[in-house]
């Protein structure tokens, strides 16, 4: 398994393809112990775990892309956001629901069929009734028909169309899945035939609250002579901003989402969680992800988490180290070192020092985005690719493994945006990871894949 690939239950690789519309977000909410994570795992399927050999990428099991009945969506277990709280029953739920209401398209409210309704359940349903979003009510631990009959108490909560199911045993999961996919927003329309392809570089600006994302957008809007195109996107309130500078157009994805602060509550954990969900949504549609990080505060674990999600999706990445105006040269050098250290799983991502406040470095950020977007879209001609590959093999052939050296026959570029290379080999499973890394690095160096994840797949040819 190569880096940046996601193993699907069918053994395929998740299309890392840039989508024109965001994947809908489905959030699971519910009291502790009702079975949210069991349901999450059941819906995601065991094999969907993201395989990544890079150390330092924070694995987060609370989000996963799911393919179900021909639709794709991002499933989120909001229970995973719960920090310890004095009153877990109430606090946890309120927080989850705030997050879900702000960012989710569909909310799955999980109740416990094995217990009578609790005051927390009543509070939860009260909040959800005002959500203004589709909510699917379901009762877990309905392990048998008999258990289902005992549900009548839960019906007193007033949840309409309560679906009894068992996450552990898979009972009536189909029904729940059907209800979820039916509640998803309609799929985006296919682009009209003959419509000119949009060449604009699609950029997502992501980062923690207060990193300076809105300041950057305002700066871009204010300083350059811009063509602003703020029409509502295909879904909901996704509003993109088009900026043209010289020969290049940029589409900054969901800038409305960047400016929209979590109004519901000022609790930090909610704001953080909302920023992660916003990032996930925007990244899906972006070629280039700009992680904006506060140089003064220092790079945080949350930054690494967000960047890890971009790398999982095989997006091109740039790190904007913002608020450089607050630091002298020496302090900034330290901040940069710290960023490299915390984000060591992407040594190939450029770091751009900048200040959204003074505008310094913003031009450099745009030209870096342009450069890496071009690399992201590059197709290397097969002849050139194989001449390079022969040199690589000559310089350092694959090491012997199990008495024989695997043979590598040829290489092709199967995809662009993001680039995917396929190497035909005699015994792909015997090619050592460090050798794969070597090939990857050579490709990156030789063809200028700065800031771009380079995926290489080895296929058998006997
Ligand atoms: P969470 O706190 O809501 O994420 O709940 P978990 O998924 O961790 O589940 C809490 C407990 O309920 C665990 O012991 C699970 O094994 C159990 N559980 C989950 N689903 C079912 C189910 O369908 N039937 C029964 N009997 N137990 C379940
Ligand atoms: P967002 O939450 O990521 O959208 O962050 P904002 O753009 O709202 O910025 C948060 C705070 O940081 C605001 O008070 C900004 O004025 C400030 N800020 C943003 N960029 C810079 C910068 O480059 N330098 C300094 N000194 N402050 C900045």
- Here the ipTM equals 0.76
Tell how far the Cα of 153 is from the centroid of ligand 1, in angstroms: 20
Task: Render pLDDT for 245-297 as a digit per residue (tens, 0 to 9).
Answer: 888 999 999 887 776 654 444 567 777 777 888 888 889 889 999 999 999 99
Residue 77, annotated as binding a ligand = yes
Lowest mean pLDDT segment, chosen from 1-10, 230-239, 412-421: 1-10
Tell me which residues have their CB closer than 6 angstroms to ligand 2: 207, 209-215, 258, 322-323, 325-326, 355-357
Tell how far the Cα of 216 is from the centroid of ligand 2, in angstroms: 8
Q: Report the mean per-residue pLDDT for the chain.
A: 82
Using the 8-state DSSP alphabet, how is residue 7 labeled?
B
What is residue 264's predicted lDDT score, i.e. its pLDDT?
44
What is residue 422's predicted lDDT score, i.e. its pLDDT?
93
pTM here is 0.74
Task: Render pLDDT for 125-156 as a digit per residue (tens, 0 to 9).
Answer: 998 998 889 999 999 999 988 877 777 777 77
Tell how far the Cα of 259 is from the centroid of ligand 2, in angstroms: 12
Q: How many residues does the chain have?
A: 462
Share of the chain above pLDDT 70, in %: 81
Ligand number, closest to the Cα atom of 214: 2
Best probe residue, ligand 2, of 213, 215, 279 (max atoms within 8 Å of C-beta) = 215
| Strands 163-164 and 71-77, sheet pairing | unpaired
């Amino acid at each position: 398994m190569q880096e940046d690939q996601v193993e699907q239950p069918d053994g395929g690789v998740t299309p890392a393809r840039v989508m024109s519309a965001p994947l809908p977000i489905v959030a699971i909410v519910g009291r502790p112990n009702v079975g949210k994570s069991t349901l999450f795992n059941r819906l995601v399927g065991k094999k969907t775990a993201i395989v990544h050999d890079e150390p330092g990428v924070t694995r987060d099991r609370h989000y996963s892309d799911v393919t179900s009945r021909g639709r794709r969506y991002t499933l989120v277990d909001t229970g995973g956001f719960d920090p310890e709280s004095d009153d877990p029953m109430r606090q946890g739920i309120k927080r989850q629901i705030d997050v879900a209401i702000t960012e989710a398209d569909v909310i799955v409210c999980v109740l416990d069929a094995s217990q009578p309704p609790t005051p927390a359940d009543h509070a939860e349903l009260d909040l959800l009734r005002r959500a203004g979003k589709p909510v699917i009510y379901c009762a877990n631990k309905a392990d048998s028909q008999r258990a289902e009959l005992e549900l009548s108490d839960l019906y007193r909560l007033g949840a309409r169309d309560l679906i009894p199911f068992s996450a552990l045993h898979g009972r009536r999961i189909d029904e729940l899945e059907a209800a979820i996919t039916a509640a998803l927003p309609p799929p985006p329309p296919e682009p009209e035939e003959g419509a000119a392809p949009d060449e604009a570089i699609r950029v997502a600006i992501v980062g923690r609250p207060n990193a300076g994302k809105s300041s950057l957008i305002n700066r871009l809007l204010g300083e350059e002579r811009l063509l602003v195109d703020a029409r509502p996107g295909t879904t909901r309130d996704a509003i993109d901003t088009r900026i043209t500078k010289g020969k290049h157009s940029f589409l900054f994805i969901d800038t409305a989402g960047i400016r929209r602060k979590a109004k519901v509550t000022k609790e930090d954990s909610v704001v953080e969680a909302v920023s992660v969900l916003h990032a996930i949504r925007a990244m899906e549609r972006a070629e280039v992800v700009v992680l904006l990080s506060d140089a003064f505060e220092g790079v945080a674990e949350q930054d690494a988490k967000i960047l890890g999600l971009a790398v999982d999706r095989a997006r091109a990445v740039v790190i904007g180290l913002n608020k450089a105006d607050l630091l002298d040269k020496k302090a900034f050098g330290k901040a940069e070192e710290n960023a490299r250290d915390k984000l060591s799983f992407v040594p190939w991502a450029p770091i751009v020092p900048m200040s959204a406040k003074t505008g310094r470095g913003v031009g450099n950020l745009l030209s870096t985005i342009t450069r890496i977007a071009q690399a992201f879209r590059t197709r290397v001609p097969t002849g050139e690719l194989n001449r390079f590959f022969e040199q690589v093999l000559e310089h350092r052939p694959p090491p012997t493994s199990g008495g024989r050296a695997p043979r590598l026959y040829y290489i092709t570029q199967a995809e662009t945006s993001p680039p995917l290379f396929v190497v035909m080999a005699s015994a792909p499973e015997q090619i050592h990871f460090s050798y794969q890394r070597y090939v990857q690095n050579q490709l990156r160096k030789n063809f200028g894949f700065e800031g771009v994840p380079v995926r290489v797949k080895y296929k058998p040819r006997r």
